[in-house]
Structure 1
Amino acid sequence: MSTAKTASDTGPDQADQIAARARGLTKAYGSGETTVLALDSVDVDIIRGRFTAVMGPSGSGKSTLMHCLAGLDAVSAGQVWLGSTEITGLRDKELTRLRRDRIGFMFQAFNLLPTLTAAENITLPMDIAGRKPDAEWLERVIETLGLRDRLRHRPAQLSGGQQQRVACARALASRPELIFADEPTGNLDSRAGLEVLGFLREAVDELAQTVVMVTHDPGAAAHSDLVLFLGDGRIVDEMPDPTAEAVLERLKRFDTIRLPDAPRRTQAHETPES
Structure 2
Amino acid sequence: MASTAYSPHFVGEPAPDAAARATDLTKIYGEGDTRVTALDQVSVAFGRGHFTAIMGPSGSGKSTLMHCLAGLDSITSGSAMLGDTELAGLKDKHLTKLRRDRISFVFQAFNLLPTLDALENITLPMDIAGQKPDKEWLDRVIATVGLSGRLKHRPAQLSGGQQQRVAVARALASRPEIVFADEPTGNLDSRSGAEVLNFLRTSVTELGQTVVMVTHDASAAAYADRVVFLADGRIVEDMPSPTADRVLDRMKGFEAAGRSRR
What's the TM-score bracket when you normalise by the shorter of the two chains?
over 0.9
Q: Which residue of 2 aligns with 1:6?
A: 9
1:104-128 deviation digits (Å, cap 9, x = unpaired): 1000000001111110110111111
Give % identity: 68
Counterpart Cα distance in 2 of 1:134 and 1:78: 37
> Per the alignment, do residues 255 and 158 of structure 1 end up closer, same or farther by CA in structure 2, a change over 3 Å counting?
closer
> Per the alignment, do residues 206 and 254 of structure 1 end up closer, same or farther by CA in structure 2, a change over 3 Å counting?
same
1:7-31 deviation digits (Å, cap 9, x = unpaired): 5998xxx454210001111111111
Q: Which residue of 2 aligns with 1:23?
A: 23
1:206-231 deviation digits (Å, cap 9, x = unpaired): 00000000000000000000000000
1:10-55 deviation digits (Å, cap 9, x = unpaired): 8xxx454210001111111111121011100100101111000000
Q: Which moved more, 1:97-106 or 1:14-23?
A: 14-23
The correspondence of residues 1-274 of structure 1 with structure 2, limited to 5 A, is 3-7=6-10, 14-257=14-257
Counterpart Cα distance in 1 of 2:253 and 2:244: 15
Counterpart Cα distance in 2 of 1:112 and 1:224: 26
Q: Which residue of 2 aligns with 1:269?
A: none
Counterpart Cα distance in 1 of 2:51 and 2:124: 25
Counterpart Cα distance in 2 of 1:136 and 1:15: 32
CA contact (8 A) 1:7 1:17 kept: no
Q: Secondary structure at the match of 1:196?
A: helix
Question: Normalization by structure 1: what TM-score?
Answer: 0.90
Counterpart Cα distance in 1 of 2:135 and 2:221: 32
> Per the alignment, do residues 196 and 9 of structure 1 end up closer, same or farther by CA in structure 2, a change over 3 Å counting?
closer
Instruction: Give the unaligned 5+ runs of structure 2.
Output: none
Counterpart Cα distance in 1 of 2:213 and 2:76: 23
Counterpart Cα distance in 1 of 2:10 and 2:257: 28
Q: Which moved more, 1:187-196 or 1:248-257?
A: 248-257
Instruction: Give the unaligned 5+ runs of structure 1.
Output: 259-263, 267-274
Q: Which residue of 2 aligns with 1:272?
A: none
Q: Which moved more, 1:207-216 or 1:80-89?
A: 80-89
> Per the alignment, do residues 115 and 233 of structure 1 end up closer, same or farther by CA in structure 2, a change over 3 Å counting?
same
Structure 1 residue 191: Cα displacement: 0.3
Counterpart Cα distance in 2 of 1:75 and 1:57: 21
CA contact (8 A) 2:57 2:231 kept: yes
Structure 1 residue 255: Cα displacement: 3.8
Residue 72 of structure 2 aligns with an amino acid whose one-letter code is L
CA contact (8 A) 2:10 2:44 kept: no
- Kindly report the root-mean-square deviation, in angstroms, between the aligned alpha carbons of the 2 structures: 1.8
Counterpart Cα distance in 1 of 2:76 and 2:6: 18
Q: Secondary structure at the match of 2:137?
A: helix
Residue 97 of structure 2 aligns with an amino acid whose one-letter code is R
Residue 109 of structure 1 aligns with an amino acid whose one-letter code is A
Residue 86 of structure 2 aligns with an amino acid whose one-letter code is E
Structure 1 residue 88: Cα displacement: 1.2
Residue 9 of structure 2 aligns with an amino acid whose one-letter code is T
Counterpart Cα distance in 2 of 1:95 and 1:231: 28
Residue 152 of structure 2 aligns with an amino acid whose one-letter code is R
Counterpart Cα distance in 1 of 2:220 and 2:10: 25
Q: Secondary structure at the match of 1:179?
A: strand
Question: Normalization by structure 2: what TM-score?
Answer: 0.94
Counterpart Cα distance in 1 of 2:119 and 2:57: 37
Counterpart Cα distance in 1 of 2:228 and 2:128: 34
